[in-house]
Each structure stands twice: as structure tokens, then as C-alpha cells.
Amino acid sequence: MSREAAPQVPGFRILRRLGAGSSGTVYHAIQDGTEREVALKVFEPADDPDATTPAQIEREREVAASLRHRHLARIHAMGEHGDRRWLASEYLAGGSLAERIAARMRVGEVLQVVRDVLQGLGHAHARGVVHGDVKPGNILFRGTGDAVLVDYGIAAFAREGDRRVRMQGGTPGYMSPEQARGEPVDGRSDFFSLGVVLHEMLTGRVPWPADAGGEARDRGQAPLLPARHRWLQPLLDALLAERPEDRPEDARALLSLLSSLCAASPEAQSLLPHPGDDIEAGRVHGRYESVRARRRQLRRASARALLVLALVLIGAFLATRLFAGG
């Protein structure tokens, strides 16, 4: 599809191109009638060898329809026009995690993303959905700052009575070892991918290089984090365990671990709700650096107030001596 020529999709006014992948191109558009902003994904023509099949598009819609959570993207509508199918989903104006990593992230931002994504994954896994492609390009932000997991293109439903699914694809460097080998996976595979993302947010790079098949080379224990982030090492170790059975069973366990680590870090204590808070409703309150900034402001204000008080007292003392001497 040409970068210059946007397609005509009845019911939508296309504003600009957002990006493209192997299956199609995504546009920022306005849905007629509702005037709602959407991310409009237009798939490649059906006769294209890389085209997403109607069954795959329908599966993506079904997955999205089964999920209702503020940290998971919503799909509004789908259809076809001519030889192209399209899918309209929630438009997220806050940019992508990949952009934020490139600009370097503060610890508070990292914690908020981890918690938001874990909450979204917890909701999806509880409904039998494995995302299969957790990576910075699939984590976007609302204007409010909430992180939202998007793109259910390879997501799959687990069969009743079996939590494991077979994923069709994935992103090299982010896939779990079992996913890269083509083995059945469950939600713990998503946790491994989130561990790769966590390492990238903190250091600016993925923990291990990967070959074209997605299999990491020379993978061993989780890399040691820089000293200033070492307090988060237990979380990284839990996410990046080589064997799925060595990773936590569910998002609640990881959220509890994160809360415990923050409770042990004095400046992180105010960032997370209390351990008893519901994981669906809880979120990171404030950001690490903004907490420090507020404390610095309070200290400066207190120092100025003390200085003014001291000057007033000195002035009063001198005035008293002057009048007494007169």
C-alpha cells in the first residue's frame, strides 16, 4: 500500500498514517456519525500473499470483544470495502512505549507501565486469552498516561480445561523460550515478554540478542540490573525465568511482588496502592520523580519561610535595641 495514497473507507475520514506492518496499514481516522477518533487498520488485499485471512481478523475481533479493561485496547467495528478488510479500534493519543524508551524513562514511569500491563494481562489471562506479542510497539498510552496493550493479531483463546495455546508468530527478541520453539504456551509466556520490556525500559536494550527465529542466543540467568535499579532485580528474575513453571502463575502474584519491592524502597512506597487493593482497580499513584520534585519544593519553601522569619526577628531585635538606646 502506498504511503501517499490513503484508501477510501466508507464511514471514516482518514486524517493521517500512523504506521504499517506485514498485514496492513494503520491510520488515524474519524468515524462518521459518532465523530469518534479511531485507529483504522486497513488490511492488505485478499490476494496478497501476506494478507491476513478473514478467519484471523474475526479471531482478533472476538478476542477484543471478550475483554473489557482500561489497560486493553477496545475494538469498535470491523468490515470490508472492495478487496480490503478493515478494523477500527480505540485511538490512543499518548504515543508508544517504544518512543518513551528512546527518550529514556524515569523509574516511576517504568513502574506505572509494568503495573498497568500486568493488570491488563491478568484480565486477559483470566478469560483464557494469551496475547503472544507483548513488546514496546504494542504498548500505547492514553492522554491520561494509562498504558494500554494493543494488537490482538496473534492472540489466542485457550481451550476449556487447557490453559495452553499455540501462537502463530511473535516478535524475535521478546518471545519466551517456549514460544520461540513453537511449543504450546500459557499466560506465563506473556510474563516473560514483559520481563524483556522491563529490562529494556530500565537499560535501553533487550537482555539478549535473538536470531531470526526469535530464539535468544547465550541466554542464561536474567542479566544483573544497574546498581540504581537493583532493588527491582527479584521482579526481573521472576519474569525472565527460563522455564515457564519457574515463573509466577498469575498477574496477582507479580503485582504482589512489585508492591513488596516498592514497600521496601522508601521513595517508591507512595507509588503503589496498598497490597490489599484490588488489582483491577488499583494503579500507580504519582511518579517517582514527581514525588522527589514535590519534596524538594517543600524543602525550598520551608527554607524560605525560615529565612523570612529570621529576618523579621532580627529586625525586631535591632529595633528594640535602637529604641531602648534612645
What does 154-180 look like in DSSP terms, one character per residue? S-EEPPTT---B--S---TTTS-HHHH
Number of domains composing the chain: 3
230 in the same domain as 198:
yes
User: In this structure, is residue 5 part of a structural domain?
Assistant: no
Domain limit, last residue, from 29, 62, 90: 90
For residue 31, what is the domain's CATH number?
3.30.200.20
The span from the CA of 138 to the CA of 194, in Å, is 11
230 in the same domain as 312:
no
For residue 242, what is the domain's CATH number?
1.10.510.10
User: In this structure, is residue 3 part of a structural domain?
Assistant: no
Nearest 5°: the CA angle 135, 104, 271 is: 80
Torsion of CA 101, 17, 62, 278, to 10 degrees: 30
User: In this structure, is residue 296 part of a structural domain?
Assistant: yes
Q: Give the model's pLDDT for residue 165.
A: 86
| CB 130, CB 189: distance < 8 Å | yes
The span from the CA of 135 to the CA of 118, in Å, is 13
Domain limit, last residue, from 47, 74, 90: 90
148 in the same domain as 34:
no
Domain limit, last residue, from 29, 56, 90: 90
Residue positions annotated with a catalytic role = 133
164 in the same domain as 240:
yes
Q: Give the model's pLDDT for residue 292.
A: 46
Q: Nearest 5°: phi and psi at 278?
A: -65, 135
C-alpha cell at 289: 520523580
* Paired strand residues for 50: none
Q: Give the model's pLDDT for residue 283.
A: 41
302 in the same domain as 217:
no
Torsion of CA 114, 74, 34, 53, to 10 degrees: 130
243 in the same domain as 297:
no
59 in the same domain as 207:
no
261 in the same domain as 118:
yes
User: In this structure, is residue 23 part of a structural domain?
Assistant: yes
266 in the same domain as 156:
yes
Q: Give the model's pLDDT for residue 153.
A: 80
Cα 108 to chain centroid, rounded:
13
User: In this structure, is residue 20 part of a structural domain?
Assistant: yes
129 in the same domain as 195:
yes
Range of the domain at 309: 289-326
pTM of the model: 0.77
Q: Average pLDDT across each block of 10 residues of the chain; the chain has 326 residues. List them in order.
A: 71 91 84 94 72 73 86 90 88 94 93 97 94 94 94 80 79 93 94 98 90 57 91 96 95 95 74 45 39 57 75 74 64
User: In this structure, is residue 7 part of a structural domain?
Assistant: no
The span from the CA of 13 to the CA of 9, in Å, is 8
259 in the same domain as 146:
yes
Q: Give the model's pLDDT for residue 138.
A: 93
69 in the same domain as 178:
no
Q: Give the model's pLDDT for residue 322.
A: 67
